Copies of this chain bind each other. A is one copy, B any other.
Amino acid sequence: MKHRIYISDIASYKDQEVTLQGWVYNKRSSGKIKFLIIRDGTGMIQGILAQGKCEECALKMFDELTQESSVQVKGFVREFKNNFELSVKSLELIHKTLDYPITPKEHGTDFLMDRRHLWLRSSRQHAILKIRSELIKACRDYFDGQGFTLIDAPIFTPSACEGTTTLFEVKYFDDKVYLTQSGQLYLEAACQAFGKVYCFGPTFRAEKSKTRRHLTEFWMIEPEVAFNDLNDDMDLAEDFLEYSVQRTIKNRKKELETLERDTKILANTKAPLPRISYDEAIDLLKKEGVDFEWGGDFGGTDETVLANHFDKPFFVHRFPSAIKAFYMKEDPKSQKHSLSMDVLAPEGYGEIIGGGQREERIETLLAKLSEHELDPKYFEWYLDLRRYGSVPHAGFGMGIERCLAWICGLQHVRETIPFPRMLYRTTP
């Protein structure tokens, strides 16, 4: 099994004999010539079996091959019209597949989701998860390259300090804990130790909503920077998003073609990204005839109406303090506004980034806790960060699945993660 090669490396083996191992994706015959499409996970190649050029038994075996049977193929790599083909010499069946359940015909999503472990082999799902892998790499490389330190935030978090309605509870020996919804509070501690930090891990939300934008388990990347203010925070998000999106569409061109994704708007993700305030956003909505009262959060349709004004991702900043978390800093120019920001994707894909500047003064933070009816005793360690060398700081979070849904042009986030977990789905 040692001297096999991968289809992704085929170009280096032009006119050489190679051994490939993979699965039968498709086959057809045209007169005396037989065509075998092999996939090995890294790519696909057409094998050509012609009498005289290939072993007799290989030709016989060809007729027996079924979709998704595993095979080993030996042959010569030939270039043909800027493509590589394999002139097959011999063929070995590793395992014969009978009645593969996913056929080229249409299947319902539930049927496919029940067979997610097999569905991953289909070209669309394969393409989406290759794009996911690339986007994640790009996001990590961005922060690593900018001198950020990776600080994995804990998954188990103690006592339910912000209400338990959307928290998953875990029996922890004789105690109980909750699954994290964000690493932010921990990163605020870490940024005072490392300056620039980020975390990237699974986060959990026990929302009973069955919408196309909700998973109970999803991955989030969250940077936090000491001494950054809201403007620095938007600059960072802008630069990060440009880098990650540009690199992903450059390195995953073929996969985006497989998805038939029009990448024109994705390619627009370049600084500067438009920045409008919440108040300006309301003016825009009103101009479009949307009845929107100051103080509320945008709904999906509001976001889409706003997005129609822009051909790239854009910032909405300075949301009302009242709809933001206790740690969000108030705008010194207007108490009712917070130093918060969201990035909305174009084309109606909604919020992909949310963040802002944090309150660094302990008295204000204590007042905020009391306003939000939160018990300060759960926040003792967090308050310490304001007792010992407090500094202005800011950060944000990007849900990787929502960003991917936009990049891939998917209506539902469920296909953006290998094994999605939703209200009614915990298998396979």
Is there a chain B Cβ closer than 8 Å to A409's Cβ?
A: no
Task: Verify if A376 is at the interface (C-beta below 8 Å from B).
Answer: no
* Chain B residues with CB under 8 A of A23: 192, 389
Q: How many copies does the complex hold?
A: 2
Minimum C-beta distance from A235 to chain B (A)? 9
Docked pose: A66 CA to B101 CA in angstroms: 69
Q: Determine if B169 and A150 form an interchain contact, defined as CB atoms under 8 angstroms apart.
A: no
Q: Are B156 and A217 in contact (CB under 8 A)?
A: yes
Please give the distance in Å from A13's CB to the nearest CB on chain B.
15
State whether the Cβ of A202 lies closer than 8 Å to any Cβ in chain B: yes
The contact string, 1 if C-beta is below 8 Å from chain B, for chain A 157-197, is 11000000000111111010101000000100111111110
Residues of B within 8 A of A121 (CB): 192-193
Q: Does A226 contact B (CB under 8 A)?
A: yes
With an 8 A cutoff between CB atoms, is A367 at the interface?
Answer: no
CB of A286 closer than 8 Å to a CB of B: no
Say yes or no: B193 contacts A120, CB within 8 Å: yes
Q: A153: which B residues are within 8 A, CB to CB?
A: 418-419
Chain A, 382-394, contact with B by CB distance < 8 Å: what is the 0/1 string?
1011011111100
Q: Given A21-B227, A117-B384, A391-B95: A154 and B217 within 8 A (CB)? A: yes
Of the candidate stretches A136-144, A269-277, A312-320, the one touching chain B is A136-144
CB nearest to A379 among chain B residues? B428
- The answer to whether B190 touches A118 (Cβ under 8 A) is no
Chain B residues with CB under 8 Å of A155's CB are 155, 202, 204, 217, 421
Q: With a CB–CB cut-off of 8 A, which chain B residues contact A217?
A: 154-156
Nearest B residue to A94 via CB reads B391
Within the complex, the shortest CB–CB distance from A23 to chain B, in Å, comes to 5
CB-CB under 8 A from A169, the residues of chain B are 170-171
With A155-B202, A202-B155 as known contacts, state yes or no: A137 contacts B120, CB within 8 Å: no
Residues 1-44 of A, flagged 1 when their CB comes within 8 A of B and 0 if not, give 11010101000000000000111100000000000000011100
Report the nearest B residue to A400, measured CB to CB. Answer: B152
Q: Given the known A-B contacts A168-B170, A229-B1, are A137 and B117 also in contact in the complex, defined by CB atoms under 8 Å?
A: no
Instruction: Specify which chain B residues have a CB less than 8 angstroms from the CB of A149 in the assembled complex.
Output: 41, 129-130, 133
Report the Cα distance A190→B417, complex, angstroms.
12
Which residues of the partner chain B approach A351 to less than 8 Å between Cβ atoms? none
Say yes or no: is A80 at the interface (Cβ < 8 Å to chain B): no
Cβ-based interface call for A70 (8 A)? yes
The residue in chain B whose Cβ has the minimal distance to the Cβ of A208 is: B173
Query: In the complex, how many residues of chain A place their beta carbon closer than 8 angstroms to a beta carbon of chain B?
Result: 97
Residue of B nearest to A137 (CB): B144
Give every chain B residue within 8 A of A201 (Cβ-Cβ). Answer: 201-202
A340 on the B face (CB < 8 A):
no
- Which residue of chain B lies nearest to A423 when distances are taken between CB atoms in the complex? B173
Tell me, yes or no, whether A300 is within 8 Å of chain B by CB: no
Which residue of the partner chain, among B24, B132, B152, B419, contacts A417 with CB atoms under 8 Å?
B152
- Which of B115, B177, B389 is in CB contact (< 8 Å) with A68? B389
The residue of chain B having its C-beta at the shortest distance from the C-beta of A151 within the complex is B418
> Which of A186-223 touch B at CB < 8 Å?
186, 189-196, 201-202, 204, 206, 208, 216-217, 219
Q: Which residue of B lies closest to A362 (CB)?
A: B95
In the docked arrangement, what's the CA distance between A154 and B204, Å?
11
Q: How far is the CA of A423 from the CA of B174 in the complex (A)?
A: 10
12 contacts between A and B (CB under 8 A): A1-B392, A42-B147, A98-B387, A117-B189, A117-B385, A125-B193, A133-B150, A154-B419, A156-B426, A158-B427, A177-B426, A189-B428
17 new A-B contacts at CB < 8 Å, known A6-B147, A97-B389, A133-B144: A4-B227, A6-B195, A23-B389, A41-B192, A42-B195, A117-B186, A117-B385, A120-B190, A121-B193, A126-B193, A129-B194, A132-B150, A153-B419, A154-B419, A169-B170, A169-B171, A381-B428
A-B pairs, 7 with minimum CB distance: A41-B195, A381-B428, A117-B189, A120-B193, A154-B419, A41-B194, A68-B389
